[in-house]
Amino acid sequence: MLISPETLHFIAEHINDDVHRLALKKAPAGVDLSFALDQIQGRQTARKKLPSWAALDGILYPRHLSMEQCSSEVTGRYKRDIVQRMLRRSSDSSCPQKGSIQRECCQNSSIPSTQGVTSMADLTGGLGGDFSCIAPCFSQAVYVERQQELCDLARHNFPLLGLSHAEVVCGDGVDFLQSSSVSFGLIFMDPARRDSHGGRTYGLSDCTPDVLPMIPTLLEKSRFILFKLSPMLDITQAVNSINAAAGHGVVSSIHVVSVDNECKELLVVLQSEGEDEPMLYCINLRSSLPLSDSTIVGGLQEQSGKGGSLFCCPWITGSAAAPVVTDALQPGQLLFEPNASIMKAGCFGPVAATYQLQAVSADSHLFIADGIHTGLPGRSFVIERVSSMNRKALRSFLEGVERSNVSVRHFPLSAEQLRKRLKLRDGGEYYLFATTTHDSRHVLLLCKKVESL
C-alpha cells in the first residue's frame, strides 16, 4: 500500500494525540488526513486490544467499526489454546478418546506443536486478530473476507506478524466453502452480529452468515469447527440448535469467556464424531495477563486468585442445583460470588460440589463456605455482620459504617434504592450484599474482600 512520506510523518508525530481534535484541524499538504486518523485511532485501540500488533511498526489499521468488533488479543490467545489442545488430542494416539480435553485443560504445561492436522480456514476474517493467534498452529492457513479494504490490510499486515504462510482470499466465506475441494483441520467462524442497519443481533440464525444451514457442509470439509458467538445467546438453545442442524450430537465443548469479569464470548467447538460428554468451560481472563509463550490455561493456574480463573465440568451436569443453606448465616463465614462466566453458564451445582459450598438460596447466586478457599472462580468475602431489614437491627449493623459497595441479589430493592435507604456513600472497604434466604427472609450481609483482610 502506497502511503506518502508526509502522511507517515503526520501519523508518527501525532500517534498519542486526540483524534477528535486532530479531525478539526486542516490537513497539512500531502497528508491523507482520513487515513492518518484511522491509523492513529487504530494504534491507540490496539495498545489495549492487540498489544503485540501495536508493538510492531508498519501495521496498518482499518476504520473504527472493524477495530471495535475485533477480538482482544487475550481472548484470541485463549482460542489458540483451545486449538492446540484439539490438535494435541488428535495426534496423541495414547490419549483416551473421551473426556481427554478436561484432563488436558487442568495440566499446567505448555502444549507442543503437533503433526497431522495441518490446515485451517477462517471464513469470516475481519481484522484478523483471531486468525493471527490461531494460524501459527498450522502449516497452511486461509483467511477469507468479503471487504476488499480488510483483505488489502491483511496482505500487508500478515507478513509483519510472522504469517507469511497465510493465504488471503477476498470473497464470501459461504461461497468459498461450497467451491473448495480442500479439507481442513479447522474452520473458524465469527458470524457478524449486526444487521443491515448496523443494529446488534443476538440470535444464532440472525447472524451473517447464518451458520446453522452450513453445519453439514462444515463437518464434511473440516475435522473441527470453532464458532465464536454472542455471549447474549442462550447456551442450551445454541447447543440444541447446532446439534439439530447436524442431525446428531456434534458439540464437543462449550467455552464461556469473560475478560476482567465481563462476559465477552461464547465459543462452541464441533466435530463430526461429537462427544458422549461435551465439556463446559468457564474462563475469566485478565486483560493484563502477560503475553508470554506459556498457555493461557497455565498462566491462569499460576495466577489463581489474582483475577483469572478456569472452571470446567461435564455439560450434562452444568444445570445441577447447588445445596441450599438451611442454618442461619453467621459472621466469619465465607461469602462467594461467582464470576461472570459461571453466572452466564449457570453451573452452580458443579461449582458448589467442587468447593463444598452451599447456596444462600436457589435464586441468590451467592454461596457460603465455613472456611477460606483458594482458587475460587469469583470473588470471596468474609461476613462481618448479618442483619434483617428491621430498623433497630440496622442501627447496630451499620454502626461506624459510612460507605460501602452495595450489591443486591434476589432482593426487592435496587442497589441504589438500598444505598439511599441506608444513607451510605458508595465505595470503601466494605461490601454489602442484600439477598433473600431459602425461607424468604430478606437479609443484609456486611463483608470485606478476602484479599483486603
Q: What residue ranges do the domains of the chain occupy?
A: 5-68, 72-317, 334-452
Tell me the range of 95-99, 100-104, 283-287 where mean pLDDT is highest: 283-287
111 pLDDT band (50/70/90 cuts)?
A: very low
100 pLDDT band (50/70/90 cuts)?
A: very low
Segment 409-433 shows an average pLDDT of: 97
Tell me how far apart the alpha carbons of residues 58 and 219 are, in angstroms, rounded to a whole number.
Answer: 38
HSE, side-chain direction, 13 A CA sphere, residue 201: 16
Residue 63 pLDDT: 83
- pLDDT tens-digit profile of 205-239? 888 899 999 999 999 999 999 999 999 999 999 99
Contacts for 155 with CB less than 8 Å, ≥ 6 apart = 168
- Which CATH code, of 3.40.50.150, 3.30.70.270, 3.30.110.70, 3.40.1010.10, is assigned to 72-317? 3.40.50.150
Residue 406 pLDDT: 98
What fold does the segment set 5-68 form as a domain? Arc Repressor Mutant, subunit A (1.10.10)
Residue 306 pLDDT: 53
- The three grid cell numbers given for residue 20, joined into one nine-digit string: 477528535
DSSP state of 362: T
Q: How many helices (H) and strands (E) does the chain have?
A: 17, 16
- Checking if the pLDDT of 16 tops 50, the result is yes
Residue 161 pLDDT: 97
Which of these ranges, 44-48, 73-77, 325-329, has the smallest mean pLDDT?
325-329
Residue 178 pLDDT: 93
- pLDDT tens-digit profile of 319-378? 888 999 888 899 999 999 999 999 999 999 999 999 999 999 999 999 999 877 778 899
Segment 137-147 shows an average pLDDT of: 97
* Mean pLDDT rounded to a whole number for the chain: 88
- Nearest partner of 407 among 434, 374, 444, judged by Cα: 434
410 burial type by CB count under 10 A (0-12 exposed, 13-18 middle, 19+ buried): middle
Segment 3-8 shows an average pLDDT of: 92
Residue 92 pLDDT: 62
- The three grid cell numbers given for residue 346, joined into one nine-digit string: 449457570
- Checking if the pLDDT of 103 tops 90, the result is no
- Checking if the pLDDT of 318 tops 50, the result is yes
